[in-house]
Structure 1
Amino acid sequence: MTKTVRFITENFGKYDPNSIDSYLSIDGFSAVKKALAMSSSEIIDLAKTASVRGRGGAAYDMGRKWAQAASVPGDQKVVICNADEGEPCTFKDRSILSKDPFRLIEGMIIAGYTVGAQNGYIYLREEYRHLRPLIKNAITESMERGYLGDNILGTGFSFHIHLYSGAGAYVCGEGSTLIESIEGKSGRPRIKPPFIKECGLFQLPTLVNNVETLAIAAAFIQHGVEDYMRYGTPSSPGTKIISLAGNVKKPGAYEIPFGITLREIIYDIGGGISDDHELKLFQLGGASGKIGPASIIDTPFTYDDLAKVGLVVGSGGILVVDDRTRVIDFLKSIQDFFIHESCGKCTPCREGNRQIAKIMDRFVKGCPKPDDLHTAERFANIMSNCAFCGLGETAQSALLSAIKYFPEEFGLMEVAANEKC
């Protein structure tokens, strides 16, 4: 099986991302031309056949999501590209934005046409502000050539794209929070229902998709679903762009077929552990993802196989940690991150993170109380079940999986033995 592939990333390095003429020279916008000659239902059927799950982390079926958005009545609809890639150890969307911005434009046009939207919004994370001129130029040149704006390619379909920047808040990666931010409000999640698909940006029916999800749509429309599905496995067809980082010799963004193992990703693609240390753990999906031990490294990278060992694909981030790091120190760094990024709107997340941070501090110092681990686990489960949005629901994923796989790392046998306590 090929370790890396070029389907979503096929255009990387093949054209000048600052020039639409360069993009057209490699058959750019052919996906838009094909899509505009199809019906909305035909495109949705292709998306369902491809079985693409959302690539922002939630893994919601794209075909189903587009079908739901298309069925919502409304004269004015909106498509939002979520480019608020704030998950630590996740930078795969950045590779698309910087190396193939016109494919993202194509994906948004196709999505807008499919669901009946007239306006699209790219919400770019503040840390990617250096990419604003590149993306803005792609939008401008696309409009000048008739691929955006009114009456695209004489088809009667009109679609405009607007570029917005966030202010650097991790929580704005959540759909409704992102919408609040675009509207000029504080970045905090909305109460649901009403759901975004019915009442989103400016109270209009709204479709929110990740950068990679939209890029995949353009790719399989251009080449055909069959070409996409020749990669992967029956239950997890296609490819995924991963962000490989941490203690590996060759970190980077790579496109892989679903089905290769974590061992192949870390040792064959990543070149193994840096400085020839031993693998201790890996975290999938960024700071909100679960961690796993070296003993399950031969697990195939598919939705189903990872679920069997309690892991998720998530955003595609794979953080490799070697034997120089204590698990408890790793968890403390994650806890510090969520303390900083919680919006504070709901009590489970606001207070849960704060209390668990105090417990983590005691573990780091080597002086936990006898019931600290039980208390931390109880608070973590309350957060995952009761928090208002995905941040609070997943903030303790690493902790809960560490309790499962690394119980010895919490040092409970040494409780009260440390005189400093």
Structure 2
Amino acid sequence: MSIEAEVLVCSGTSCFSSGGPEIYNNLLENLEEKGLTGEVKLVQTGCFGFCEKGPIVVIYQEDNPGGIFYCQVEPEDAQRIVEEHLIKDEIIEELLYEEPETGRKVAQYEDMGFYKYQQRIALRNCGLIEPHNIREYIARDGYQALGKALTEMTPEEIIDEVKTSKLRGRGGGGFPTGVKWELTKSAEGSPKFIICNADEGDPGAFMDRSIVEGDPHSVIEGLAIGAYVIGANQGYVYVRAEYPLAVDRLEKAIESARELGVLGEDIFGSGFDFNVEIRVGAGAFVCGEETALIHSVQGDRGDPHGKPPYPANDGLWDQPTVINNVETLANIPQIILNGGDWFSHIGTEESTGTKVFALAGDIHNTGLIEVPMGTTLREVIFNLGGGIPDDKEFKAAQTGGPSGGCLPREKLDISMDYDSLLEVGSMMGSGGLIVMDEDTCMVDVARFYLDFTQDEACGKCTPGRVGTKRLLEMLNRIVSGEAEENILDKLEALCHEIKKTALCGLGQSAPNPILSTLEYFRDEYEAHVFDKYCPAGVCKDLASYKIDEEACEACGVCKEECPVSAITGSKEEGYEIDPEICESCGICEEECPFEVITRG
């Protein structure tokens, strides 16, 4: 019996944790009851990317080759999907995506703004195949690039192709991948090693996790090609323990690759041997830095060291080592198959190809996107992200995670590429992109990121161990209204000193959130320091609430809801807030049915 429909159930971490497995099991049970298991192929895939709307189920049929996209599916919807869609051929309107601005229902994901502006290379298989199923990967040209590299190309020819592509490392540094491979290949020493850095620790970032969960064979194939180039026979994937689903799927993918002979001895009869092992990290943010990562892979404490020497000459067990990020490696097979020139014509002149971003924050469409380098911030936020909810104004976007910076409204048309972001005080980083609306306090944002980096500092150098602590202390004084008048000068001076003297790149970039917010939102800092006032009303020690007496309807809801009895008065006399008692929790503002309570 031929397959008449293919039902794909998202089983990335987000959907997996919100009912994906139960939806899959319910679908399977209903298909068995209706005797449709021979006609319907049911697949658990990796992440579709549209995490805001999960769990997701996509159905492909001959008369709907574009796929019908169902979102926010509940386990109990499985029966309807089988009976109404698969048997009666009726689309279930309630489960379709609804455009935030128009309210229009959209059936096919290719017509959604979130998807139609994307160009997927690193994410090309995520959401389309069963992740660890090597035969499904092969059906989508998997391991053809490795076969071509081993049987038709020399290491030098592969390096030339990667250099032609101008592929830059997607882990944050943006170093040219072809140059890195060339340096390691020419370095003296044996054995040589290759490592995939899947230690993704930025708050709000999940790009690497989704690729490893959704398409682990692309990472294995990229590793094998890189190993062949530099002359390594052993590779490692360093992944954090908080990614159990990624580890599980990677283990299964490695096992199946060995069984099929694309890992192991004499791959494709070329005489090239290569094996991959997984190293699970304990979740230290600093282990994303390559020298700290190397120490951790060796079983040592994950402390960074100064450079030079660089890993290309003195890396794992003091041998030449290449370290590439997950997304970087996922691009390699497509570059080998399609040519470096093809890749270099996507994106900008110096930032070629595409970039995966984890889009989150105050935005309609949160999730994972992949767009050509050079796409503007405005296009990402309003075309793919669907704009800011509740008719609020865009205020800032934070790019690059704790090492990046905050960009104001005036930078909405900036090109999202390595060099353009560096010019305005931010960075690409690994691809975290947090959108903030008008109700955000930028001083508090800087304090949040410094709190993270200070807590994650390894403690090896004084600027990282003590300097970040002093920065955090100053920010805490600012948001609590206890800052001295010259604190902004001291804050900025210490930021620059840490950038110059910290041992590793993570320490050197730790002040970036402060410096960028000082540059673009200095008025907010000054309001906190000189006026003892938080314009956004976020900092509780500086926030106060008042009732518009003329507009107040004296309903009494605010008095009933106040947890500390800071509101006094009666329906006859009206109500007022006692600032001495008020804890600035904001509950009265949230509960007021007439919206007459404001922060001031």
TM-score by length of 2: 0.68
Deviation at 1:411, TM superposition (A): 2.4
- Rounded Cα–Cα distance in structure 1 between residues aligned with 2:350 and 2:394: 29
- Rounded Cα–Cα distance in structure 1 between residues aligned with 2:509 and 2:455: 15
Q: Match of 1:336, as an amino acid? A: D
Q: Match of 1:83, as an amino acid? A: A
RMSD: 1.8
Match of residue 466, structure 2, among 351, 354, 360? 351
Greater C-alpha Rg: 2
- Rounded Cα–Cα distance in structure 2 between residues aligned with 1:382 and 1:271: 40
1:269 has 2:384 as partner: yes
1:42 has 2:157 as partner: yes
Secondary structure, aligned partner of 1:14: coil
Identity between Structure 1 and Structure 2 (%): 41
Residues 223 and 183 (structure 1), Cα distance of their counterparts in 2 relative to 1, 3 Å cut = same
- Rounded Cα–Cα distance in structure 2 between residues aligned with 1:184 and 1:307: 35
Residue in structure 2 matched with residue 238 of structure 1 by the alignment: 353
1:215 has 2:215 as partner: no
Match of residue 438, structure 2, among 308, 323, 339? 323
1:381 has 2:496 as partner: yes
Match of residue 255, structure 1, among 362, 366, 370? 370
1:82 has 2:220 as partner: no
- Rounded Cα–Cα distance in structure 2 between residues aligned with 1:417 and 1:11: 52
Deviation at 1:331, TM superposition (A): 1.3
Secondary structure, aligned partner of 2:369: strand
1:144 has 2:250 as partner: no
- Rounded Cα–Cα distance in structure 2 between residues aligned with 1:168 and 1:413: 35
Deviation at 1:264, TM superposition (A): 0.4
Secondary structure, aligned partner of 1:208: strand
Q: Which runs of 5+ in 1 are unaligned?
A: none
Residue in structure 2 matched with residue 195 of structure 1 by the alignment: 310
1:23 has 2:137 as partner: yes
**Cα-to-partner distance string for 1:27-83 (whole Å, 9 max, x where unaligned):** 210010111120111011111111111100011111111110111122310000000
Whether contact under 8 Å (1:303, 1:313) holds in the other structure is: yes
Q: Which runs of 5+ in 2 are unaligned?
A: 1-115, 534-540, 543-600
Deviation at 1:232, TM superposition (A): 1.3
- Rounded Cα–Cα distance in structure 2 between residues aligned with 1:361 and 1:413: 11
Secondary structure, aligned partner of 1:118: strand
- Rounded Cα–Cα distance in structure 2 between residues aligned with 1:233 and 1:8: 17
- Rounded Cα–Cα distance in structure 1 between residues aligned with 2:120 and 2:310: 35
Q: Match of 2:177, as an amino acid? A: M
Secondary structure, aligned partner of 1:315: coil
Q: Match of 2:122, as an amino acid? A: I
Residue in structure 1 matched with residue 223 of structure 2 by the alignment: 108
Residue in structure 1 matched with residue 14 of structure 2 by the alignment: none
Deviation at 1:416, TM superposition (A): 8.2
- Rounded Cα–Cα distance in structure 2 between residues aligned with 1:417 and 1:161: 57
- Kindly indicate which of the two structures has a greater share of residues assigned to strand: 2
- Kindly indicate which of the two structures has a greater share of residues assigned to helix: 1
Higher RCO structure (Cα 8 Å, ≥6 apart): 1
Deviation at 1:228, TM superposition (A): 2.0
Aligned residues: 420
- Rounded Cα–Cα distance in structure 2 between residues aligned with 1:307 and 1:74: 35
Deviates more, 1:213-222 or 1:166-175: 213-222
Residue in structure 1 matched with residue 292 of structure 2 by the alignment: 177
Whether contact under 8 Å (2:127, 2:214) holds in the other structure is: yes
Q: Match of 2:207, as an amino acid? A: K
Deviation at 1:205, TM superposition (A): 1.0
Residue in structure 2 matched with residue 10 of structure 1 by the alignment: 124
Residues 382 and 414 (structure 1), Cα distance of their counterparts in 2 relative to 1, 3 Å cut = closer
Match of residue 96, structure 1, among 201, 211, 219? 211
Runs of 4+ in 1 over 6 A off after TM superposition: none
